């Protein structure tokens, strides 16, 4: 069977014609292979680049989220400490106002003396809490 097909295709062809046919078939195969390789390399490289960018973007976003959480906790801690400091300053100012001798300050300012004394805080209590 194959010999009859071969004989009918190549019947009457000389050796030179067979070589031209084989060279043309090889050229077509070479072109098809090169084109297929180029298409495969093009799409494969696009996929690899997309995957690498996706991996690059996802990992730092998780790290950034963790850093933002740490930053938020730090800011909350700083705000709490500032609130405590301001409360301590208010308390210290209040203690200074309550413990001053009103007659001395009035005499120093050439003002009439105050006869009613301000309530004096118990010395055992030192914090507002």
Over residues 38-69, the pLDDT tens digits come to 999 999 999 988 888 776 666 667 778 888 99
- The more confident residue out of 52 and 8 is 52
In a domain, 91, yes or no: yes
In a domain, 117, yes or no: no
Q: Which residues constitute the domain of residue 24?
A: 14-99
pTM score: 0.34
Six-digit token string for 119? 């309530």
97-120 residues labelled b (16+ CB within 10 A) or e (exposed): eeeeeeeeeeeeeeeeeeeeeeee
Distance CA 107, CA 117 (A): 15
In a domain, 119, yes or no: no
Instruction: Summarize pLDDT for 16-43 with one digit per residue, the tens.
Output: 777 888 889 999 999 999 999 999 999 9
In a domain, 21, yes or no: yes
In a domain, 40, yes or no: yes
Q: Residue 87 gets which letter from DSSP? A: H
In a domain, 112, yes or no: no
For residue 110, the model assigns a pLDDT of 62
Q: How many domains does the chain have?
A: 1
In a domain, 79, yes or no: yes
In a domain, 106, yes or no: no
């Amino acid at each position: 069977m194959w010999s009859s097909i071969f004989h009918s295709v190549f019947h009457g062809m000389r050796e030179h014609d067979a070589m031209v046919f084989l060279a043309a078939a090889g050229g077509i195969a070479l072109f098809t292979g090169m084109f297929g390789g180029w298409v495969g390399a093009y799409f494969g490289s696009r996929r690899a680049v997309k995957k690498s960018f996706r991996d690059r973007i996802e990992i730092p976003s998780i790290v950034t989220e963790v850093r933002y959480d740490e930053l938020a906790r730090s800011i909350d801690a700083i705000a709490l400490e500032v609130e405590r400091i301001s409360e301590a300053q208010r308390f210290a100012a209040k203690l200074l106002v309550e413990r001053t001798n009103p007659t001395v300050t009035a005499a120093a300012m050439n003002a009439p003396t105050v006869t009613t004394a301000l309530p004096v805080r118990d010395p055992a209590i030192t914090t507002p809490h």
